[in-house]
Amino acid sequence: MVCKGRLARVGSLRLNFIYGRRCGCVLKESRLKARAEGGVKELLEYLGEDVSRPGVVNTPRRFVKAMEELTRGLREPPPEVVFFPLEYEAEVGPVVIENIGAVSVCEHHLLPIILRISVAYVPGNGIPGLSKVIKLVKWAAARPIMQERFTEWIADLLMEKLRAKAVYVKVCGVHMCSFIRGAKDEHHSMTTEAKRGEINVRLRCKRPLSCR
């Protein structure tokens, strides 16, 4: 899936941006997609499913499409953050955005992680638009992750993309790989935090799926 010449650096991760039509990778991409769908079909067969059954005959195509949606951050460029002038003589204090809902997949099992992400930042040069900060967080989550590393990375990403003086991030995740399999514990959640620079605020983070 790597398209040469479309590499960019965000934080410490190298991202591969694939602009199929623009760089003539369409044929290669559709071949790779057919192989991925074939792989899902083989998995279903291995599990004992009758893959010719009407209900599942198109499941490999749908599964690959769903995984594309859940990992779109691997291929799409990050949303551009818009900055507004403050138009007032003051040092802006920390801005807090709590409980941004996002979905990831765990990189060990490819099962969903339901996330609530709270962020706080001290703006530097310009005030970032609220909606773009939320979109950036959701984009960052849309890939296979390990929550501990993700939390550190998103702190660096926000420092860079928000041109922030300081950042604090709190991530609360419910991992389906320990919720529905393995430990099979539906009550726990995992909270991780990362801080960059001087910032003193309390961040709350609701447990995802708390309405059960």
Chain residues binding Zn ion by CB under 5 A are 106, 108-109, 177
Q: Tell me the closest approach of the beta carbon of residue 196 to Zn ion, in angstroms.
A: 27
Q: DSSP letters along 147-171, please?
A: HHHHHHHHHHHHHHHTT-SEEEEEE
**Of residues 120 and 145, the one with the C-beta less far from Zn ion:** 145
Q: Which residues pair with 168 in a beta bridge?
A: 120, 195
Q: Provide the minimum distance between the beta carbon of 81 and Zn ion in the complex, in angstroms, as a whole number.
A: 31
Q: How big is the chain by its Cα radius of gyration, in Å?
A: 20
Give the separation between CA 35 and CA 28, rounded to whole angstroms: 11
14 vs 101: CA distance, rounded Å: 25
- How many residues in the chain? 212
Task: Choose between 40 and 176: whose C-beta lies nearer to Zn ion.
Answer: 176
Q: Among residues 53 and 108, whose Cβ is nearest to Zn ion?
A: 108
Task: Check: CB of residue 121 under 8 Å from CB of residue 164.
Answer: yes
Shortest reach from residue 175's CB to Zn ion, in Å: 6
Cβ proximity to Zn ion: between 175 and 196 the closer is: 175
Q: Shortest approach of Zn ion to residue 111 CB, angstroms? A: 6
